[in-house]
Amino acid sequence: MGLRPHNLVKGEYYHIYNRGNGKQKIFLDREDYDRFKKLLYVSNSENSFNFRDSIVDIGIDAYDFERGETLVSILAWTLMPNHFHIFLISPRADLGEDKELDKTITDYMRKVSTAYAMYFNKKYERTGSLFEGKFKSKHVGIENYFRYLFAYIHLNCIKLVQSDWKESGIKNVKIALKYLEEYKHSSFQDYFGLIRKESKIIDKKAIPEDIKNSHVEELFDWIRLG
C-alpha cells in the first residue's frame, strides 16, 4: 500500500479519514454503524482483542470493555455511508522505539479498520479490500483550521439532506438543524448534551476549553449564516 508521505508525530492533532474502495458504501444498516462505533471505543487500547471473544461471547456491552491504557484521544468523529472522519491526538510519549514518531495512531487505525473489514466481509459474504488503501491523515495546526475541522466533521452529515449545501448554502435552516441534532453517527450529540454510551469514545479533556465551550453555538451560527 506504499509508505505514508509524512510521519505522524506524537502530541499533534490529526484529521484521519478514509472511504470505501471504489467509493462503495461501508455502512449498509444500523448494525454496521453500531459495530464501527463500538470498534472506535474498544480498539483504543494497548491490549489486543477479538470482538467475538472479548465482547460477544462474554456477553458484555462493548462500552463496558476494560481497555486499560488508551492509544489516542478522540476529539470528534463522524460516519457517513461511504466514508468516515476522526479528529484525534496521540498524547502517549512512552510507546514505540522512536520518541519522535508516533506509531500509536497507526496501530489504532489498523485495529479499527482490520476488525471492521473482517466483520463487514463476513456479514456480506465478500472478499477483498473494503477501504481505499491506507487511512489518510492531515496535520491540524493553526487555530482557525482546528475550529474549521471541528465544525466540518460534525456538519458533514447535512450532505445527506442537502448534497450541495457547501456550495449553495443551507436552503432550509430548520431542517438542517433538526437533522444535525438527531444524527446518531457522529460525536455532535455528545457535545449537544445528550447522554449516551457513545460519549465514551471521545476525550473532552483533550479539547481546548474555548473550542469545547463554544462548539455547539458556533455550529448553529454557521448554519444560520449559510
Output the pLDDT for position 32.
98
pLDDT band at 6 (very low <50, low <70, confident <90, very high): low
Which of 23-27, 190-194, 200-204 has the lowest average pLDDT?
190-194
Q: Is the pLDDT of residue 5 over 50?
A: no
Q: Is residue 144 part of a domain?
A: yes
Model pLDDT for residues 150-162, shown as the tens digit of each residue: 889 999 999 999 9
Instruction: Using CB atoms within 10 Å of the CB of residue 131, give its burial: 0 to 12 exposed, 13 to 18 middle, 19+ buried.
Output: buried
Q: Which residues contact 201 (CB under 8 A, 6 or more apart)?
A: 37, 40, 41, 44, 74, 77, 187, 190
Q: Is the pLDDT of residue 65 over 90?
A: no
Q: Which domain holds residue 216?
A: 13-225
Output the pLDDT for position 2.
36
Output the pLDDT for position 159.
93
Q: Residue 101 belongs to a domain with what CATH number?
A: 3.30.70.1290
Q: Is residue 1 part of a domain?
A: no
Distance between alpha carbon 4 and the CA centroid of its chain, in Å?
A: 20
Q: Is residue 76 part of a domain?
A: yes
The helix (run of H) or strand (run of E) holding residue 85 is strand 83-89
Q: Is residue 20 part of a domain?
A: yes
Mean pLDDT score, 74-103: 78
Q: Is residue 114 part of a domain?
A: yes
Q: pTM score, two decimals? A: 0.89
pLDDT band at 7 (very low <50, low <70, confident <90, very high): low
Q: Is residue 6 part of a domain?
A: no
- Residue 153's φ and ψ, nearest 5 degrees, are -60, -45
- Angle, helices 143-155 vs 209-225, to 10°: value is 60
State how many domains the chain has: 1
Q: Is residue 7 part of a domain?
A: no
Mean pLDDT score, 33-51: 91
Angle in degrees, CA 180, 167, 159, rounded to 5:
30
Residue pair 187/201 in contact by the 8 Å Cβ criterion? yes
Output the pLDDT for position 100.
47
Residue predicted with more confidence, 185 or 147: 185
pLDDT band at 4 (very low <50, low <70, confident <90, very high): very low
